[in-house]
Amino acid sequence: MSTTLSRPPQMDSSIRRVAILFAGGPAPAANAVISTAAVSFLRNNIEVIGVLNGYSHLVEYAPDHPLEEGRDYIKITHKTLKRTRNSQGILIGTARANPGKMVSSPDHLKDPQRAAPLRTVYEALVSLKVDALISIGGDDTLKTANKFKLFQEQLPPGSHRIPVVHLPKTIDNDYSGIDFTFGYFTAVETLAEEVRNLLADAEANRAYFIAEAMGRSAGWLAYGVAIAGEASLVISVEDITGKYEKLEEAVDPKSGEKTVRRAMNIEEVVRRIVATMRVREEAEGKEFGVIVLAEGLAELLPYEHIEGVPRDEHGHIAVSQLNLSRLFSELVAKEYARQTGKKRKINGLPLGYESRCARPLAFDVMLGSQLGVGAYRALVEKRLDGVMVSTTGQLELLYVPFEKLVDPKTLVTVVRYIAPGSDFHRLARFLETYVNE
């Protein structure tokens, strides 16, 4: 008998209650991931707990401070999930609490003090009678999921084990192990629409905008926005090579010791932006444009620009305190005036936050839904532990072991950069204003 229109069969599983948590920055289609994961378990008669605000409540757990429903977690039911797949925001909230921040090598897991936050998370989940954990988040959250798995491997034999599955999330799209992350295309379209609006404004005023796009480590978002938004030029960390980079002495923010770091040759980058402006003006008759910069360039600014700037508990520089777009708008305006003897209005503008909870596009809903279902299939159908759910091709599911994504010695993930010279990289170069170097 044909089964093409039959629902998936119910599966025998030792899992009776699963917890879902979301950590890090928001991303469009977050609720598609959460709701499809939840409904998959509910249809197999498995209870679903939504942990509120990432790890922030779990790390505060103590036997005399038990977790409370409504304050620290919610029970997700079919009624909770009424038309949520396409909704904006995050049903269970998010936060950046990092219970693995003191663990940077496997040996640290044997140190009770360093591993204490992970133990607290474990005990909090045990107190809720959780049998499996679904972690949704970026590469820092993936690192935490891996540390949580490794921590449990240190437990005495016979201890309750909570298998963990991770679902990759970032609008930056810089994840190893998956082609595109959910929310990326929605974020690109949201910010590309802003760039198109800025282009119209720039043309009307014979001006330029330098738009700073999110993308802390790699240029996927900046490049996507520039391509879809018809920007004049895009520059990201992948482009800081050759004459655009230099080595300089700096002070390591952790140890306080002097070190040599790779930095941006900011003068050459500024001259490259001005070259685009002059070609547009002198060869194409265009006295306007939009330049897109990836915010990750802030990490490569010369030390004089970042000295004393605070970092978060993941070690990331506080990009918002640098205002990269304003810095470049001032430097570019000065260099343009020096070269041409003319003034050109140049406005710096950061972009990004407005895209993180935008209404998701259909593709991101489809991708997010498949990842959510993939969490159920990984834990219940395939009985896996310590894997990241991924997709390839026409949303075919893959399950990538943590050890293929996280360095076993440093417990650090590998950033996926745009490969210089790749067809995606060359696409932007084909479409932007041509400048012969």
Using an 8 Å Cβ cutoff, are 20 and 38 in contact?
yes
**Mean pLDDT to the nearest integer, 2-17:** 83
Please tell me which residue, 310 or 61, carries the higher pLDDT value.
61
Q: Closest Cα to residue 294, out of 227, 218, 193?
A: 218
Q: What H or E segment, with its residue span, contains residue 51?
A: strand 47-51
Is residue 202 located within the same domain as residue 340? yes
Q: Is residue 202 part of a domain?
A: yes
Strands, DSSP E only, in 223-362? 233-235, 245-251, 258-264, 289-294, 346-351
155 and 229 share one domain: no
Q: What is the pLDDT of residue 19?
A: 98
User: Is the residue at 410 inside a domain?
Assistant: no
pTM: 0.92
Confidence of residue 393 (pLDDT cuts 50, 70, 90): very high
| Same structural domain, 251 and 116 | no
* DSSP H/E element including 20: strand 17-22
Domain with 199, as residue range(s), is 186-355+419-431
Tokens of 281: 């003006």
Q: pLDDT tens digits for 96-120?
A: 999 999 999 999 999 999 999 999 9
For residues 116-138, give the mean pLDDT. Answer: 98
In this prediction, residue 347 carries a pLDDT of 96
pLDDT score for 307: 75
pLDDT (average), residues 310-317: 63
pLDDT tens profile 320-371: 667 899 999 999 999 999 999 999 999 999 998 899 999 999 999 999 999 9
The answer to whether residues 330 and 373 belong to one domain is no
Each residue's pLDDT tens digit, 151-199: 999 999 999 999 999 999 999 999 999 999 999 999 999 999 999 999 9
Same domain for 325 and 243: yes
Q: What is the pLDDT of residues 34-89, one digit of tens each?
A: 999 999 999 999 999 999 999 999 999 999 999 999 999 999 999 999 899 999 99
Same domain, 31 and 123: yes
- Is the pLDDT at 314 greater than 60? The verdict is no
In the chain, how many domains are there? 2
Tell me the CATH number at 293: 3.40.50.460
Confidence of residue 306 (pLDDT cuts 50, 70, 90): confident
Q: Would you state the pLDDT for residue 313?
A: 57
Q: What is the largest CA-CA distance in the chain?
A: 80
- What's the pLDDT tens digit per position in 225-270? 999 999 999 999 999 999 999 998 877 766 677 888 899 999 999 9
Distance CA 299, CA 316 (A): 9
Sequence-distant (6+) residues with CB within 8 A of 301 are 263, 264, 266, 322, 324, 327
**In what helix (H) or strand (E) does residue 73 lie, and over which residues does it extend?**
strand 73-76
- Give the pLDDT confidence of 399-424 residue by residue, as tens digits: 999 999 999 999 999 899 999 999 99
Element housing 22 (H / E): strand 17-22
The answer to whether residue 206 scores a pLDDT higher than 60 is yes
Average pLDDT of the segment spanning 9-32:
94
- On whether both 278 and 237 belong to a single domain, the answer is yes
Q: What is the CATH number of the domain that holds 383?
A: 3.40.50.450
Does the residue 28 lie in any domain?
A: yes
